[in-house]
Amino acid sequence: MDPNEPGALPSAVIDRDGLDALIATLAARGYQVLGPRLEAGAIVQGPVGGIDDLPEGWLDVQDGGSYRLERGAGSALFAHVVGPHSWKRWLYPPKQALWRAERRDGGFTVTAPDEAVPRYAFLGVRACELAAIAIQDRVFGLDAAPPVTDDPPTDGAAAGGTFLDPGYAARRAEVALIAVNCGRAASTCFCVSMDTGPRATGGYDLALTELIGDGRHEFLVEVASELGAELLGTLAHRPAETADIKAAEAATRRATAQNRRAMVPGVAELLEANREHRRWDEVAQRCLACGNCTMVCPTCFCTTVEDTTDLTGRHAERWRVWDSCYSLEFSYIHGGPVRTETSARYRHWITHKLSAWHQQFGSSGCTGCGRCITWCPVGIDITEEARAIRDSQGPAR
């Protein structure tokens, strides 16, 4: 089965013990299982040894510039949505060694880092995050596609496959993806308008929908790969019944209805046509240019290069480090930075993410996860900014 094909029909139901057994099975197969954990007042990703490590009964309450946790009324393991970390940090680490050099015998040698590729199993991947991983697959060359032309962007156009990032490719090849369909949305979510959620439709090995209430706590399981089928075969499970499927569909409808925000239709063309709009200066009055939105974004990929040399001058290293287009130094070329004003840097980020990305990679760079809204210190909302530009042009047609 191809993991990129749409999800199969719901095939089985497991209980809490079955989920615990799934984690143990993945670990026995050599995977380090990473999933949601409660740490430092947030739900973040980290090592998970069993269901006791999951944030049982915890909810995240999010809004523009606001995040807090509170206890829910039940024992759900996945009632939260998305936190400050995305799976990008494991596939495309914040700091990566590119090469090391040693001075010896009047010359020097350069070697690539010889590091073991980690074998991860991601547990609790949401639909918007699967969409983000698919976008990064294109960005880093795993998803080959036709070259970009001057023709208007289409859903099928992309620039992926031309240049392969070997580190990303090696890590991506070793990942098992256990998705969790959302039964709840945060107030900052807008995945429905981006067609990326709340239900996963492909790109995973197994997808779980938590079914809880009326004395039950089970998980509907969908299989979308050979690995997923093998994993399910090791677990105690029963066939899914009509009632189970309807309960999962109800959870999806609930999360869909809770999507309070929406991206305006045609945003790519809207922003392309309004590069000199007064709204850029207006939003810059609030923007701190802190780069939080780019750090929490699951698709942003900007980096810088840092070179270090030891005190003896005999050893040097080059590292690739996450960077942000909000940094004044990011656009520095000989003579100074290109984008000196905060308004220019904000405009560059949002127009690349929502508009130019289509021409470059064949899709939007946004999946509607809402992280940039939640973790912006002043609560800037990209859906609101796009709507303000549209509304300034008169009634929508």
Task: Give tens-digit pLDDT for 223-279.
Answer: 999 999 999 999 999 999 999 999 999 999 999 999 999 999 999 999 999 999 999
Domain boundary among 257, 291, 307: 257
394 occurs within a structural domain: no
Looking at the structure, tell me whether residues 285 and 198 fall in a common domain. Answer: no
7 occurs within a structural domain: no
Round to whole Å and give the CA distance between 50 and 20.
Answer: 5
Coil, helix or strand at residue 365: coil
Looking at the structure, tell me whether residues 242 and 276 fall in a common domain. Answer: no
Domain holding 355, by residue range, is 267-389
Looking at the structure, tell me whether residues 196 and 129 fall in a common domain. Answer: yes
Structural domain count, the chain: 2
396 occurs within a structural domain: no
Confidence (pLDDT) at 161: 52
Looking at the structure, tell me whether residues 285 and 251 fall in a common domain. Answer: no
Q: Are 168 and 140 in contact (CB under 8 A)?
A: yes
List the one residue out of 180, 234, 188 whose CA is nearest residue 212.
180
Round to whole Å and give the CA distance between 11 and 232.
Answer: 10
Residue ranges of E strands in 48-198: 58-63, 66-71, 95-104, 107-111, 120-125, 176-180
Looking at the structure, tell me whether residues 79 and 183 fall in a common domain. Answer: yes
Domain boundary among 257, 276, 299: 257
Round to whole Å and give the CA distance between 362 and 185.
Answer: 27
pLDDT tens sequence across 23-38: 999 999 999 999 999 9
Round to whole Å and give the CA distance between 46 and 131.
Answer: 21
Looking at the structure, tell me whether residues 97 and 225 fall in a common domain. Answer: yes
Looking at the structure, tell me whether residues 98 and 160 fall in a common domain. Answer: yes
Domain boundary among 257, 279, 296: 257
User: What's the token pair of residue 115?
Assistant: 């590091």
What angle in degrees, to the nearest 10, is found between the helix axes of 166-173 and 127-139?
Answer: 140
Confidence (pLDDT) at 6: 43
Looking at the structure, tell me whether residues 101 and 209 fall in a common domain. Answer: yes
DSSP H or E run through 391: helix 382-391
Confidence (pLDDT) at 181: 97
- Which residue numbers in the chain have pLDDT < 50? 1-8, 145-160, 396-397
Confidence (pLDDT) at 74: 85
Round to whole Å and give the CA distance between 133 and 138.
Answer: 9
Q: Is the peptide bond before 298 cis (omega within 30 degrees of 0)?
A: no
377 occurs within a structural domain: yes
Looking at the structure, tell me whether residues 190 and 136 fall in a common domain. Answer: yes
4 occurs within a structural domain: no
Give the type of residue at 279: R
Q: What is the mean pLDDT of the chain?
A: 90
Round to whole Å and give the CA distance between 254 and 183.
Answer: 6
pTM of the model: 0.90
> If you search the block for the tokens 């046509």, which residue do you land on?
273
Looking at the structure, tell me whether residues 374 and 252 fall in a common domain. Answer: no
Looking at the structure, tell me whether residues 322 and 288 fall in a common domain. Answer: yes
Confidence (pLDDT) at 394: 60
Residues forming beta bridges with residue 303, ordered by sequence position: 322
Which residues make Cβ contacts (< 8 Å) with residue 282, sequence separation at least 6? none
Order across the sheet with 120-125: list the strands: 42-47, 32-39, 120-125, 176-180, 206-213, 216-223, 12-15, 238-239
292 occurs within a structural domain: yes
> If you search the block for the tokens 């350069």, which residue do you land on?
110
2 occurs within a structural domain: no
205 occurs within a structural domain: yes
Looking at the structure, tell me whether residues 174 and 143 fall in a common domain. Answer: yes
What count of Cα atoms within 13 Å lies in the side-chain half-sphere of residue 138?
25
